[in-house]
Amino acid sequence: MNFHSLQPFTIEQAELYTHYFKQSNTRLADACPNSRFAWNAGYAYRYLILEDCFCLISDGGIFTEPHFSLPLGKLNSEKMQIILRQIEPIFEQENWSFVGMFIDQDYTALFSELATYNTEMSYEEDFSDYIYRTSDLANLKGKKYRAKRNHVNRFIRDYAEFEYKTLAKSDQEKAVELVRTWCQDKEVDCTDPLVSDCGPINNLFNYWDELDVRGGAIYYNSDLIAFSMGSVISDDKEAVIHFEKAHPNYEGLYSMINQLTVIHEFSETELINREEDMGEEGIRIAKESYLPIEKLKKYRVILTKK
């Protein structure tokens, strides 16, 4: 068995992947179905089912290095040992280091318990997921959120005729055009997934019927000027915001779309995962300004035989 003999991971596996994801306990945004299928073109994953777990292996694609991701399902130390023994020959044949990525902190103990492998675990803070209370993002109460309330109130005052709508597949054309406007403002190439999320956003719209995508949109003078796309995980207790875009010419618009989407689309949840900052200072400042209560670490593991 070699890497190219594995089945390509495509949207046709959405139902199967979602089944195994729901059986797992991982909360990492990267592992949830919407993220996996939105960004998959950059990872070129292939898959196999081992020990009743969904296993993804990547040759690195354009984003990273060859690796396996956390097997999804009802995983335990015995299953992990068996899975690793079965996929290790793939890495050996390709002359790849035996590396695992997107390993949830809650699963690191399973690697520490391996009988036949030495493990080297590491993580980068830049790729930790930011977690917030849903109630904090919805209500923006207290002195700590005064600046956010001011942004929201400014937008409401200046653009009183705006309209909030639940995001729909029919918003695709206008949403993608907004992303292109954002790219032009930031002077980045919309066709390059290394610097733009235009392609992954378009993917989520294309896969709308196969995935459970939720989100909100703000219209002003018939123009879509902001939108947010997310999903619900962890038995409806937690939401993940995958993408959020706002027209650069409207002050307070990001704060507005953030709050309204949480209120209207994710009110039943307790927590909101707003993903990582990727080491970008501007994104880090924006995410920290909403005062996260937790950061989920994602581990990289290097395995060598004992």
What are the tens digits of pLDDT across the range 253-278? 999 999 999 999 999 999 999 999 99
53: β partners: 50
pLDDT of 86 reads 97
pLDDT of 131 reads 98
Q: Are residues 236 and 157 in the same domain?
A: yes
pLDDT of 236 reads 82
Residue 122: pLDDT above 90? Answer: yes
| Mean pLDDT computed over every residue of the chain | 96
Q: Are residues 40 and 80 in the same domain?
A: yes
Q: Are residues 123 and 133 in the same domain?
A: no
Percent of the chain with pLDDT over 90: 93
Beta pairing, strands 223-233 & 163-166? unpaired
Q: Are residues 24 and 64 in the same domain?
A: yes
Handedness of CA 244, 245, 249, 250 (dihedral sign): negative
Q: Are residues 187 and 76 in the same domain?
A: no
pTM score, whole prediction: 0.95
Query: Would you say residue 230 lies in a domain?
Result: yes
Percent of the chain with pLDDT over 70: 100
> CA 190 to CA 45: how far, in whole Å?
23
Q: Are residues 138 and 212 in the same domain?
A: yes
Q: Are residues 173 and 254 in the same domain?
A: yes
Query: Would you say residue 288 lies in a domain?
Result: no
Which tokens hold the place of 299?
């581990």
Q: Are residues 196 and 252 in the same domain?
A: yes
Q: Which run of H or of E encompasses 149?
A: helix 146-158
* Structural domains counted in the chain: 2
What integer is the mean pLDDT of 50-69? 97
Q: Are residues 219 and 109 in the same domain?
A: no
Query: Would you say residue 11 lies in a domain?
Result: yes
Residue 113: pLDDT above 90? Answer: no
- What are the phi and psi torsion angles at 235 (to 5°)? 55, 45
Range of the structural domain that residue 57 is part of: 3-127+298-305
Query: Would you say residue 283 lies in a domain?
Result: no
The mean-pLDDT minimum among 8-22, 79-93, 176-190 falls in: 176-190
CATH number of the domain bearing residue 76: 3.40.630.30
pLDDT of 67 reads 98
Q: Are residues 99 and 174 in the same domain?
A: no
Report pLDDT digits (tens) over 99-111. Answer: 999 999 999 999 9
Q: Are residues 248 and 146 in the same domain?
A: yes
Query: Would you say residue 107 lies in a domain?
Result: yes
122: β partners: 300
Cβ 82 vs Cβ 50: under 8 Å: yes
* Nearest-5° Cα angle at 306, 70 to 76: 35
Cβ 241 vs Cβ 261: under 8 Å: yes
Query: Would you say residue 286 lies in a domain?
Result: no
Query: Would you say residue 284 lies in a domain?
Result: no
Q: Are residues 165 and 271 in the same domain?
A: yes
